[in-house]
Amino acid sequence: MLRQVVPKDDRISSWCLEAPKTMIDLIQEEFIEGGLNAESGPYDSAPVKDWADKADEWQQAALQSQLGIPLILGVDAIHGHNNAYGTTIFPHNVGLGATRDAELIQRIGAATALEARAGGINYAFAPCVAVVKDVRWNRCYESYSEDPEIVGRMASIITSLQGLPPAEHPKGHPFVAGRNNVIACAKHFVGDGGTEGGKNEGDTRISYDELETVHMAPYLDCISQHVCTVMASYSSYNGQKMHSHEFLLTDVLKNKLGFKGFVISDWRGIDRLKDNRDSEGAEYRVCAALGINAGIDMVLGRLDLVKFQEGLISLVEAGEVPISRIDDAVERILRVKFAAGIFEHPFSDRSLLDLVGCKGSPFLMLLNKQLDLKPKSYSRNAHQWTHYQLTILHSPLWLLVNLHMQKISARRPNWLSLLI
Which H, E and C letters describe 126-138, residue by residue?
CCECCECCCCCCC
Contacts of 305 (CB under 8 A, 6+ apart): 15, 17, 26, 30, 32
Rounded to 10°, the helix 362-371/102-118 angle is 120
DSSP 251: I
B/e letters for 276-303, b = 16+ CB within 10 Å, e = fewer, are: eeeeeebebbebbbbbbbbbbbbbbbeb
Q: How many C-beta atoms surround the C-beta of residue 169 within 10 A? A: 14
In three-state secondary structure terms, 230 is strand
Choosing from 266, 271, 297, 328, the catalytic residue is 266
Would you call 304 a catalytic residue per the annotation? no
Distance CA 311, CA 15 (A): 13
**Ramachandran sector of residue 15 (left: φ over 0; alpha: ψ -120 to 50; beta: rest):** beta
Q: Are 122 and 82 in contact (CB under 8 A)?
A: no
Q: Are 331 and 296 in contact (CB under 8 A)?
A: no
In three-state secondary structure terms, 57 is helix
Q: What is the DSSP string of 61-79?
A: HHHTSSS-PPPEEEE--SS
C-alpha distances in Å from residue 55, one per residue of 122, 197, 334, 347: 10, 41, 19, 7
At position 202, the amino acid (one-letter code) is G
Distance CA 68, CA 40 (A): 26
In three-state secondary structure terms, 123 is strand
C-alpha distances in Å from residue 254, one per residue of 175, 219, 295, 366: 16, 12, 9, 39
Q: Are 81 and 180 in contact (CB under 8 A)?
A: no
* Residues marked as catalytic: 266
